[in-house]
Amino acid sequence: MESQLRFSDGSVAALMQESEASESECETSFRLDILFHNCNAATMSGARVPYGTIANAAVAVEKGRIAWIGPERGCPVGTARTVTDLRGAWITPGLIDCHTHLVFAGNRAREWELRRKGASYEDIARAGGGILSTVEATRAATEDTLVEASLPRARALAGHGVTTAEIKSGYGLTLEDERKMLHAALRVGERAGVRVSRSFLGAHALPKEYASDRGAFVELICRDWIPAIARERLADSVDAFCDSIAFTREETERVFAAAKANGLQVRLHAEQLSDQGGAALAAKFRALSADHLEHLGDSGIAAMKTSGTIAVLLPLPFYFLREEKKPPVAKLRDAGVPIAIATDCNPGTSPAASPLLAMNMACTLLGLSPEEALRGFTQNAAAALGLGAETGTLEAGKFADLAIWNISDPSELAYWMGIDLLRGRYLEGRSVHEAAQ
């Protein structure tokens, strides 16, 4: 059963149970899967009006993509299988969490307690804790165990409007365990109704078995692991942790060269604890993103501007680690470097799966505006994953990745904390709201 719709002066003029349009009429009208109306849209496209707002909007969806979006009074004649009156709700692009370590086993609550008693992140890492303690737990877990452990975190993201999430490996540090994590990431996304972009993070930490021969470990990553990951299509990009407690700029450059040689994009954990020149290196390889950036300097900003590398800021670990050195938001803004925001969901420094809380902290702690924060979880986050042509804004031709909110203004998404604002969630035009329950 279909409904025929004719919009005039912003209202639905006719709803008929059967469409009697002739074939010739159908050739000049929309044949839709869904039509949302009586809503407001924060398209996040363009900069002429805040949030790219369309008041009193309609959104038409066909074959998983946005067929038309605009003021309701201008919606063309068409037929739709489903017509949904949103009663004044807001539609935004589905949120995109472009930096997570969501798949892991165990937790690090005990280490967090030690930090509260005065131990530093670096002290714990050098003593064999930190990432390596999660490596031990993850290696011991089966793929099925990882899926079940990670699914609640993915569903939490989905329950806050996420339709796309990046998930990294990096807690296996053997090829088989890294494979296990990447397989689990895809399965978790399928069950939670979330599109997953996978990043291979073999250069995350030095495993115990290579503690005395880091060169051999980097060689193993470059010579064997990256080609295997690329050949098996287990990841969309290669990440690395370039910092004082992780990998040097020279080691990271070798990893990036291997990634590019095997047709994979790159991204980088850069300038979190110190300025190692990682952002400039990322820019040299035209990385999709450089992430953290608390210690980012002027030369790194200039390089990122030239390369188009997205700055991904992570306010939740900034808060959790009680950092004082803020990323240079004003300088990034002035340079025109796009800023994305992400949760960095992980067991050690960001045990959180709330993009709305991350938006709030991006505003209150780092100085972004609510509009910049939402753009950081939509348009710029899509660019940070190389998906800007397909999602991240509400535009005709893009995926119908939609979040529907019980709010009166988009700024509320960065304002409320701990409040359930989400009414519905659609991935490529398919309702996936129940997958988050």
Sign of CA dihedral 112, 115, 120, 123: negative
Query: Quick one: average pLDDT of 244-271?
Result: 97
Q: Name the residue with tokens 């709010």.
A: 407
Tens digits of per-residue pLDDT, 386-395?
A: 999 999 999 9
Tens digits of per-residue pLDDT, 281-322?
A: 999 999 999 999 999 999 999 999 999 999 999 999 999 989
Tens digits of per-residue pLDDT, 163-192?
A: 999 999 999 999 999 999 999 999 999 999
Predicted confidence band at 29 (pLDDT cuts at 50, 70, 90)? low
Tens digits of per-residue pLDDT, 367-383?
A: 999 999 999 999 999 99
pLDDT over threshold 90, residue 116:
no
pLDDT over threshold 70, residue 20:
no
Query: Quick one: average pLDDT of 97-105?
Result: 98
- For the chain, give the mean pLDDT: 91
For Cα atoms 310, 314, 315, give the angle at the middle one, nearest 5 degrees: 135
Domains, the chain: 3-93+396-436 (2.30.40.10), 95-384 (3.20.20.140)
